[in-house]
Structure 1
Amino acid sequence: MYLTDQVIQLAYDPGIKPNEGGLPGLPVLKHVMGSINLYGIIGSVGSLAISAGVWAWGHHSGGHQAEANGKKGVLVSSGAALLLGAANGLVAFFSGLGTQVH
């Protein structure tokens, strides 16, 4: 096999796969990422409650700007909670798609 053929073959498949346990500290990193995810979900719950309160206050006081901001806050908080809760599934899905690229 010529050198150019080997380089072309290497460009297609370098042979690198994710290796669990390749570096020390992986369980600690997983624990830290899980804790960050939990803090994000807790923050989403808090911001959802505050936004719902602003929405209700704006509605009952006639403050249309506050009502609109409360609605936006509820939608953003709900979307953030959705993405945080689905983070593992989304990463696994796109990682699986990435392994199918040739």
Structure 2
Amino acid sequence: MALLQIDVQPNTDGLPGISALSHMTGALLTLGLVAAVAGVAIAAITWAIGSNSSNPHIAGRGKNGVLIAGAAALLIGAANTLVNFFNDAGAAIH
């Protein structure tokens, strides 16, 4: 007795509103990048104030903020590539 083989692929016309959802997701990516830029600016200001006032705790928090905002921008920019990579890797599993 052979098992039924199921082969379902993602498509762009299966549900109404996919185009609008894709457009909204692009807007969220833009919003995330704008927030990351603001985060870098705020963290850099914090880093500068901490360094100039000889406050290593505040300077360290500013450094961490710059790195975190930069990592967030990296992940947002790579979101499509990451999702496509894992989708392709999952599709390759038989």
TM over 0.5: yes
TM bucket by the smaller chain? Answer: over 0.9
- Separation in 2, partners of 1:74, 1:96: 32
- Higher helix proportion (structure 1 or 2): 1
Say what the alpha-carbon RMSD is for the aligned residues: 1.0
Higher Rg of the two aligned structures: 1
Task: Name the counterpart of 2:76.
Answer: 84
TM-score by length of structure 2 reads 0.95
Q: Partners in 2 of 1:25 and 1:67 — Cα distance?
A: 47
Structure 1: how far apart are the matches of 2:88 and 2:81?
10
Percentage of matched positions with identical amino acids: 40
- Confirm whether residue 40 of structure 1 aligns to residue 32 of structure 2: yes
Give the alignment's TM-score, normalised by structure 1: 0.88
* Residue ranges of structure 1 left out of the alignment (5+ in a row): none
- Equivalenced residue count is 94
Is 2:24 the counterpart of 1:68? no
1:93 Cα deviation from its structure 2 partner: 0.9
Deviant stretches of 4+, over 6 Å: none
Alignment partner, residue 42 of structure 2: 50
